[in-house]
Structure formats: C-alpha cells, structure tokens
Amino acid sequence: MGRAGLSALAGDFADRVVGALVSNLKLAAAVLLTGFGVLAALVTLPVLTIVLAVSIGVSHGLPLVAPAGAGGPPLAPGELTCPAPGAAVAQPFGPSALPGEPAMFGYPHFHTGVDLAVPQGTPVRAAEAGQVIDASGQTDSLGLLVGYGNLVRVVAGDDRVDYYGHLSAFGVSRGQVVQRGQVIGFAGSTGYSTGPHVHFEVRIAGTPVDPAPFMQPC
C-alpha cells in the first residue's frame, strides 16, 4: 500500500474518531440535561404546588353564597355574646397590613372580622340564635383548606349572617337550629391562619360590619 493509501486510511480513521466523540458528547449532554431536568422537577414541583394553593385561597374574601333578605333587625350593644369566653383579641376589625387580607372599603387589605385567640380545641359558642347554613371546610381546587378553613355560618336575621372560621372541628351541621351560647365548633388554625383562634365575623346584606361594639366582653 502506498503513502497516499496510508494517508487516506489515517484520515478516515480520524474522521470516525471525531464523529464518535461528538456523538458520545451529545449523548452525555442529553443524559446530563435530562438528569438535571428530573432533579429540578422533583425540587420545584412541591414548591409550585404550595405557591399555587396559597395564591388560590389566602384571602378571607373568597366568594361565599349567603342569603339576602329585606333587612334584619339592627344589632344593639351587648346583643352578641362572645363566641369564645376568656379569649384575647388577636386582630380587630379594620385595615390590615397582612397581604392575604382582601381589598375592601378602599383599603388594599382589610380584616373583615375579629380574631379571638384561644387554645386549640376551645369550644366556640353561637353569639346569637339562628340556623346553620354552612358547616364545612373551605377548600381550593387541590382540596386544601384555605381562607376561613373549617367554617360555620349562621343566619341570625333576614340578611344577617355570623361567620365562625378556622375551626378544628364542627359541633353542628347544615340546617340545624342553634341557640345563643350553644357549642357550634372548636377553635383551631385551619385555612389561612397563623395560630389557634376563631375568626368571628358578622355580615349584613353581605357587607362585613365590626361586631365588637355589639359583643359582650369576653
């Protein structure tokens, strides 16, 4: 075989080696990128799930259907009993700095009720007589408790509805008639909550009002 033939063989061998190296590098890069992709998915998916759940329902203002009437009797001072005797007010009705609160009454964040801090499992009592229209957990599309968490709503007038939120357990069921002071549930920290308490809220014709001026001291 002449010198020209040897040169041709050497060139062909070099081309094959380079081609094999390039193919192997492509394969290695694909495997490496796939591994990183799987690892990134495993790390980020739970985080994205939590962010999605929080973004769906961190607000007390999630829409809830409540009956509307021709106008119930106005509340009088002391007409409402404290839902959790011995509780301390953790957050009053009014403008709030918490980003999870809904925009209302011209404020970017507004707390629509009174938070009464009590130990986990403390009995929560009806502030006034009425009928239960809702005793269930407020959940998002993932089935996670959000917003008010476990919530009891009681119709107390033609268009007045009392809310008892963040309960750990229920003491009543939908349609049940309750009397003032009757246990309707137990305090907890379900939904959008930072600690055990009961969120007590009064809505008249769908609009939240401050229950404090009408509530007996706890």
Please tell me the distance from the alpha carbon of residue 84 to that of residue 186, in angstroms, as a whole number: 9
- Which residue's entry shows tokens 């009174």? 114
C-alpha 10/C-alpha 89 separation (Å) is: 88
Asked if 197 is an active-site residue, the reply is yes
DSSP β-bridge partners for residue 111: 94
At 15 the pLDDT is 54
Q: Report, at the CATH architecture level, how domain 88-214 is classified.
A: Distorted Sandwich (2.70)
Confidence of residue 162 (pLDDT cuts 50, 70, 90): very high
pLDDT in tens, 108-152: 889 999 999 999 999 999 999 999 999 999 999 999 999 999 999
Is it the case that residue 184 has pLDDT exceeding 70? yes
Average pLDDT for 26-50? 45
- pLDDT value of residue 185: 98
Please say if the pLDDT value at position 203 is more than 60.
Answer: yes
Please state, in angstroms and rounded to a whole number, the distance separating the CA atoms of residues 133 and 178: 11
Closest CA to 92 of 68, 115, 74, 70: 115
Using CA atoms, how far apart are residues 121 and 194, in angstroms rounded to an integer?
15
Mean pLDDT calculated for residue range 12-37: 49
Helices (H) and strands (E) in the chain, counts: 1, 12
10: amino acid identity, one letter: A
User: What confidence score (pLDDT) does residue 51 get?
Assistant: 36
- Tell me the pLDDT tens digit for each residue of 93-103: 999 888 778 88
Catalytic residue among 111, 166, 197, 199: 197
Considering the entire predicted model, what is its pTM? 0.69
- The tokens 């401050």 sit on which residue? 210
Q: What's the gap between Cα 83 and its chain centre?
A: 22
How much is the pLDDT for 206?
92
